[in-house]
Amino acid sequence: MVPREAPALPEPDATPDRRLRTARVNPELLPSVAVLACAVLLIIATKVLNPGSSFGQQLSAVLVTSIFLVVASFGQGLTILLGGIDLSVGVVVGISAMMISTLTNGHNAALYWAVPATLAFCTGIGLINGLGIALGRVPPFIMTLASSITFFGVGLAFTSGLAQEPVAPALQVLMTGHWLGVPIPIYLIVVFAAFAMLFQDGMTEGRKLYAIGSSPGAARVLGLPIAGLTALAYAISGLCAGIAGLLLAGYSSAATLDIGDPLLLPTIAAVVIGGARVTGGRGIYLGTFAGALFLSALGTVISALSLSQGLRNIIEGAIIVGALLLQSERWGALRS
What is the chain's percent helix, strand, coil content, to nearest 5? 75, 0, 20
C-alpha angle with apex 84: 125 to 197, nearest 5 degrees?
80
**Window 101-160: residues binding other proteins (CB under 8 A):** 101, 152, 156, 160
Q: How far apart are CB 306 and other proteins at their closest, in Å?
A: 4
Site string for other proteins, 269-308 (x = CB under 8 A): ------------------------------xx-xxx-x-x
Q: Is residue 248 a contact residue for other proteins (CB under 8 A)?
A: yes
The span from the CA of 164 to the CA of 150, in Å, is 22
Nearer to other proteins, 25 or 307 (CB): 307
Q: Is residue 252 a contact residue for other proteins (CB under 8 A)?
A: yes
The span from the CA of 23 to the CA of 46, in Å, is 37
What does each C-alpha distance from 158 to 90, 234, 248 come to in angstroms? Answer: 18, 25, 20
Indicate which single residue of 139, 202, 217, 262 sits in contact with other proteins (rule: CB under 8 A).
262
Nearer to other proteins, 237 or 296 (CB): 296
Span from 24-32, 46-54, 195-203, 269-277 in contact with other proteins (CB under 8 A): 46-54
Nearer to other proteins, 53 or 205 (CB): 53
Q: Are 97 and 163 in contact (CB under 8 A)?
A: yes
The span from the CA of 157 to the CA of 283, in Å, is 38
Q: Is residue 259 a contact residue for other proteins (CB under 8 A)?
A: yes
Q: How far apart are CB 177 and other proteins at their closest, in Å?
A: 10
Burial 303-333 (b: 16+ CB within 10 A, else e): ebeeeeeeeeeeebeebbeebeeebeeeeee
Site string for other proteins, 316-335 (x = CB under 8 A): --------------------
The span from the CA of 21 to the CA of 18, in Å, is 5
Q: Which residues bind other proteins (CB under 8 A)?
A: 46, 49-50, 52-54, 57-58, 60-62, 64-65, 101, 152, 156, 160-166, 176, 248, 251-254, 256-259, 262, 299-300, 302-304, 306, 308-310, 312
